Chains A and B, each alone.
Chain A
């Protein structure tokens, strides 16, 4: 048989039906649901008199609207509360394999709770009404974000209408330097190929540097695949994958586990498989990254400077840079290390897992929040992450450093709850989008790794985290 890529294996094992024009019906194994994109889908289903095709494929949580402090007060904003209560009611009526409602011990960001509960398993197709569903590709799943009408379609038919993507291999060989993390790889890749570079592709990450990453690191990488324009990110199964999943609550047990693992071991690209595009990076050359603009591709190393539009020949590009610098309130050629930081956000489905918090805590330990920094939010990705961090004493480290230790949720990643930036404030953020107004109207986001965010918190600017060691 011809050598196959992982993507091709996952695709061909899920095609139910294919039209002459290549549009295919893809069977969906796991449907993750949250409060923002599901209400109209549930209602549409009800109005049409339909039932979900397979209730046991649904796993739901409330994350986007939930507050991260004063849980005893409930959700104060009435519009947010209504969305969350609507999800409660819908799940009560329809059912689900698992539901982690607001305040549940295992509630959290939908892309954090899937893997940590073992509801995301290798070889699955995973969908969710949220673009960062690509995160789950770290487990060799074909994972797509979908729209509200598609949420309804999947509920009703257990299928999604899809066309096959092209395949791209991002190969990172060698060893990452000290103070350099998965987030830096992700930003370096986006800096290289651009935010549209992955459009039409499913990106598989491979090479020795990727194999050396933990599952948390691989999730960070696949999470950001969408910011490179790809619909899906992928990493093949290896020992790390299997070790992570063993004993997770919903992972198979006993004989089923053995049978599953035997299959999962085949879920990697075959030797000699052909990709439509290959991009190679040398891990040793990647430095800590900081975005300076309003798109994740506007990124520099911490040692670099903000670009000078005058030196850009292409008028469209020049104008884009000028507009971004104006929004960000930055002068051309400003050294990255001189950008002042007003707030710090450590959290989001990109970087809110236990390993991320450990990396941030290692920098924060024994240090204090800089006086010029107004607030540092540390928002664990889920209740489970929160408790694990507390068991390790990470909460103490953060609190001693003057950081705020919050309840889990999306929080200031998109500022749908009360956590947000004031106009003009610069924020060192471990999230995934630095678009205008993303973290609050007029807010200025700089995407960084958790270690770099903690370093910014204790110094008030962007410093090479390696200088703090």
Chain B
């Protein structure tokens, strides 16, 4: 997992509540043998005017000009502003895979579905929950000013707006440590790499027939 420390990036406002995982990545894309490459199909049914199928080249597909991600001013955005209950529906880990593959590292909203919220942390995506008044203000500012950027500092737990206002947010200390260091379960286990190596060497000496 990529570590997350600070991010200075363009924000895009997705002004909808209850965005479910099937909207984030429609079910026909789950047959894939991969967990990367879902980015072009993120929000597939909203982004494109035709029906998407797995394995299709998306570059030539007709885009929906009204969908916010397609607007020129939001290209390259890495921060997604969302509304209530983002990520509800099935538990598919493909949803955070798709968001991450598209380039999003931070999601800011008033609430996130539980399983989705967990899945984000496993995949290097930071979901931030803020009171609705603050989210409203971010939406307002973001829509008003082109090139609206936010600076997210995980260690300090702050979001800095272009006007200099600093918003602090909560994050579980254990998850914070994992994200800062880029630790997933594997990363955590590898903190014991020396112990594993020592165990392995002793085992190799005691039971060489397992290491043929």
Contacts and interface: CB of A to CB of B under 8 A. Distances in A.
B174 interface: no
Contacts of A153: 185-186, 189
Interface string B19-55: 0000000000001011110000000000000000000
A250 B209 CA distance: 10
Nearest to B198: A16
Given A44-B35, A56-B211, A156-B189, 9 more contacts: A25-B192, A25-B195, A27-B203, A39-B33, A40-B35, A47-B36, A86-B33, A152-B186, A153-B189
Which of B1, B207, B208 has the largest number of chain A CB atoms within 10 A? B207
Contacts of A29: 210
Given A27-B196, A159-B196, A260 B209 contact: yes
A252 interface: yes
Nearest to A41: B35
16 contacts: A27-B199, A27-B200, A43-B33, A48-B184, A54-B200, A79-B31, A83-B33, A123-B210, A153-B185, A153-B189, A157-B193, A158-B196, A159-B196, A252-B212, A256-B208, A259-B208
In this complex, the member of B193, B195, B212 whose beta carbon has the largest number of chain A beta carbons within 10 angstroms is B212
A82 interface: yes
B120 to A, nearest CB: 15
Contact of A124 (B189, B192, B210): B210
A266 to B, nearest CB: 12
A44 B35 CA distance: 7
A429 B200 CA distance: 42
Contacts of B185: 149, 153, 161
A123 B190 contact: no
Interface residues of A, number: 37
A16 B209 contact: no
Given A50-B186, A123-B207, A158 B36 contact: no
A252 B33 CA distance: 36
B192 A40 contact: no
A252 B200 CA distance: 18
A140 interface: no
Interface residues of B, number: 24
A17 interface: yes
Contacts of A79: 31
Nearest to A85: B33
A257 interface: yes
Contacts of B211: 56
Contacts of B190: 156-157
Interface string A31-57: 000000001100110011010011010
B34 A161 contact: no
A431 B190 CA distance: 39
Given A149-B185, A156-B190, A158-B200, A40 B33 contact: yes
A159 B212 CA distance: 19
Contacts of B184: 48
A86 B33 CA distance: 8
Contacts of B209: 121, 252, 256-257, 259-260
The 10 closest A-B pairs by CB, nearest first: A252-B209, A39-B33, A260-B209, A157-B189, A156-B186, A16-B199, A40-B35, A256-B209, A17-B192, A29-B210
A138 B195 CA distance: 30
Nearest to A79: B31
